[in-house]
Structures are given as C-alpha cells and as structure tokens.
Structure 1
Amino acid sequence: MFMRDAVSILNLTKILDGRPILNDVSFALRTGTITALLGPNGAGKTTLLGCLLGLLAPDAGDMTLLGEPTERLSPATRSRIGFVPQSLTGLGWFHVQELLTYVASYRDRPEDREDPVWMQWAALAPQARIRSLSGGERQRLAIVLAMRFSPDLIFLDEPIASLDPQARYDFMRLLPGYVRRRNATVLISSHILSDLEAFCDRYLILDRGTLLMDVEAEALGTRYRRLPAHAAAASGGREVIAAADGSVWIDGHAGDTEAEPSLPASIEHLFLALTR
C-alpha cells in the first residue's frame, strides 16, 4: 500500500538535565523525498535522530516510521531502515568483509536485496582491519552498512563531512538516483549546505530545539525571496527575517521589477539569517 508520509513526528519534546533539547517539534516526510535537517551545533539534530531510531526515549510526542509507532517497530520494518552515524566507532578488530558478513547474518535472506553499487563506490579492501581505516574510509563503510540492503527509509547524520572530494561528489550523485529508483525517503543532517543544495527537496531548520522553518527547495526561488532592505516594505510579501548584510527575506514576494530586483537566494543565506 502506498504511504504518502514515510515519517510523521507530532509535538516531539525531549528534556535533558532540565533543559529542553527538542521543543514541540512536528513535521512529516513524504515518501520518495530527500530532506535536509539543518542547525548549528547543539540545535538538537542528533537528539532528534536518536528519538526517531529508538535510541532515546522522548518525554512527549508521537512518531511513526513507515506507518508504525517508533516504540513498536516490527522486525520487518526495522530491516527497511538504514542509519549512518556521525562516525563509526569500535569494532576495530573486524576485517571489513567479516563485519559485512556479521551484519548480514542478522537478516533472514540478505541476498534478496543486496545492492553492490555501494560496495563498488566505497572501494574498501575486504581484508583491511577496521582499526586501520582512515576516517573517510570508516565513513564509507558506515554508508555501506546502511545502504547495502536497499533500505526504504534512511537517516544520515553528517555522512559526508569526512569524505574526500571525489567520494563526496559520487555520493551526491548516487543518493538521488537511489531514491528515484526505490522511491526511498531520506533525512540527512549536514553542515555542508552547498552540497545539500544539489539534491535536497526540502529543508528543516532547527535551532535550540525549535523548528524555525520548513521550506521546499523550489520555494527558495519562488515563494521566498531575498530583497534589498529598501525594497522589502513595498514588495507585497511578509517579512521573514532580516539578514546581517541588510537584505530581508520575504515570503510571498509578487515578483521582480527593474526597481525591485531580488538578490541571489540560497539555503545557506536563509540558514545564516535565521540562526545568527
């Protein structure tokens, strides 16, 4: 059965040491889309992913993944979810192939859906010990472990920061193609905003545990525009935020005129304006 929303979060709240790390966060992820989760350090991004994966218990709120409550995910649904952490730690005594075989042993029929593309991309020596791998090689291995069995829902926590330029470029080409082929859903957290603009459909901006904005990529150049301050008042749109350079983000701008041109708009500009 087709599900429009692969992820649903309603009023998610998480409190640690008496401080709200997530404050009444709500959003849904449509099936077949790639969504970026953005925020400065300490915004609550990793905590949110931890709650979705069942690694942290929320203090309030409801969450579903692929149609099931997160606290009662069936084994079949869990097998459809992939996760890439910020860094792959431990397990240093394994050889690469040993770890892949070990993880595969937990699947009923791992051969049914194994995708060789990711192993080819990672280009890791099967007999290399994990403790001998560089940071970038470990991250490629973490991506392989998440993607190897063709998940339908993928959570990526800073997956590309430690990759070299070629590996990062190839990853950004492979991921959208994979999503299109499988109608998969991706939530990716990253600080490399220029990379995300190449393939994300939507952006969630989180700061101090609060969801500040939920914006579609196509709306950055249509519904949301960045105008010089002197033109904002006459634009006919709603002011969202004033940027440090004196420009103003407008929601609902009627369109450019010769006297009222918009400035180049990007998610990086909007992010910096909202979280400065």
Structure 2
Amino acid sequence: MVEPVPPCTIQGLVKQYGAKQALNAVSLTLQAGEIAALLGPNGAGKTTLIGCLLGFLSADTGHIHLFGEDINSLTPQTRNRIGFVPQTMTGLTWFKVGELLTYLAGYRAANTPQDNRWLQWADLDPQARVKSLSGGERQRLAIVLALRFCPDLIVLDEPVASLDPQARYDFMQLLPDYARAHGATVLISSHIISDLEKICDQFIIMQKGHIKLTLSHTMLHEHIRLLSAAPPQTGA
C-alpha cells in the first residue's frame, strides 16, 4: 500500500538574520486531518517558521514540501489548497467587505466548495469599507477570506490575538468542527497554551529557533499534571 503524502513536511530548516539564528535545524511533519499547535514565547521563531512554510521567506538551508511539492515550485492548484490567516490583515482596504468577498471568489473555480459558517460567525456589514473596520473586525474578515473555500492546509499565525472574548471563544469552538468536517490539516501558532489545549492533537513547542518538545494531547496533559503535582523547590 502506498503511504499518503503528508500535507506538510519540513526538514532541517535554518534561517539566520545577521548574527541571530531565527531557525536552527527545524524539522516537523503534519499529517492529514491533524490540528497542531505551534507554541512558544515571542521571538521563539514561530512567525519565521510560518513565513518559510508559506514561501514568504527563503530559508538558508533545508527543505519544505507541501502535498509532496517543493515550496519553491508549487502549482497553482496546490496553492489554492492552502489558507493563511496572518496576525493582522493589511492591504485591500479600499474595498467594501462584500466587494472583496466577491472579487476574491472570482479567482476560484465555479465548483469550489464553500463553507459559509465563517461568514455567519464574522457577522460583518457587507457595505462597510475594510479601512473602516476595527482591528477585531479586520481579523474576522481575514479568517473568512482564508477559510471560506475549504482549504486542505490551514496556517494561522496568532489568529485570535485581536478578537474580543466572545469571538475568540466561538472561533475556538468552530475551528475543530470545521477542520474535521473538511478533513483539513491545521497549524495554529500562539504563545498562550490555554487557547489551544482543548482542540489540538499535537503541540510543537519552540524556543530560540529550536523545536524544544513535541507532545500529543495526552502527553501534554500528563506533563501539566506532573508539573502541578511536583513539590516546590527550596533554595540551598
């Protein structure tokens, strides 16, 4: 039996900015249908890793393959299988919300599946100009634009940081249901583990450009239990 090709494979990724090594020999694989958390403090390398994964940044060394294709030579069909939500949405601010949704839909084939639950969740005025939206409203729009057409690989970089508590809660409820309904693979970054501990299958913990630890959902909760049960250390 031929093994299915993973949606994302990263091998030995290195990225340096001057004297700072942002990524140091990073390797990981995301399996089909998996929801993976990318965790770590600010400056750990999460956003740089995502930038390389999506082809926005060039790694110094290493390899990235999405659906079996090299990141540097993705076909248009494969690019359409990827949805990305950045930390903040910029650009295209002169459009009305409804105009932007229609405009971007024009780049999709007529038979492309859609999931309009995100439109209902975002609850945006189609006549509002993007430039007039609040930060949270723009982020809801970015999520709609990325996920409406049911991508197979979803990459989210701190997607809920600017959302209000109710929108944040509803997003975290909807995302796993949506991903499993469409068989999508999800990589979602955050520096707050409590946002993700209930919905993710794998937890990838970064520190200073390294992947320090990779844990399953069960292993994560066992680590938390052991840390909670450990007696406090006393000074010498």
Q: TM-score, normalised by structure 1?
A: 0.79
* Equivalent-residue separation in structure 2 for 1:221 and 1:116 (angstroms): 34
Aligned to 2:15: 14
Contact 2:122/2:141, CA 8 A, preserved across alignment: yes
Aligned to 1:246: 233
Post-superposition shift, 1:50?
A: 0.5
* Equivalent-residue separation in structure 2 for 1:195 and 1:16 (angstroms): 30
Post-superposition shift, 1:6?
A: 1.6
What secondary structure does 2:127 align onto? coil
Post-superposition shift, 1:17?
A: 1.7
* Equivalent-residue separation in structure 2 for 1:185 and 1:174 (angstroms): 15
Alignment of 1:132-211 (within 5 A): 132-211=132-211
Gaps of 5+ in 2: none
* Equivalent-residue separation in structure 2 for 1:158 and 1:80 (angstroms): 20
Aligned to 2:79: 78
Contact 1:161/1:192, CA 8 A, preserved across alignment: no
Note if 1:92 corresponds to 2:93: yes
Note if 1:3 corresponds to 2:4: yes
What secondary structure does 1:5 align onto? coil
Gaps of 5+ in 1: 230-244, 248-276
Moved over 4 A (4+): none
Aligned to 1:55: 56
Q: Provide Cα deviations, 1:70-120, integer angstroms capped at 9, x if missing partner.
A: 1111111110100000000122211001111221122232x5312111101
> Structure 1 residues 216-225 or 184-193, which shifts more?
216-225
Aligned to 1:258: none
Aligned to 2:230: 228
Contact 2:5/2:67, CA 8 A, preserved across alignment: no
Q: Which amino acid aligns with 1:199?
A: I
Q: Which protein has greater RCO, CA pairs closer than 8 Å, 6+ apart?
A: 2
Q: Provide Cα deviations, 1:165-187, integer angstroms capped at 9, x if missing partner.
A: 11111111111101211111000
Number of residue equivalences = 231
Post-superposition shift, 1:207?
A: 1.2
> Structure 1 residues 89-98 or 125-134, which shifts more?
89-98
| Percent identity of equivalent pairs | 56
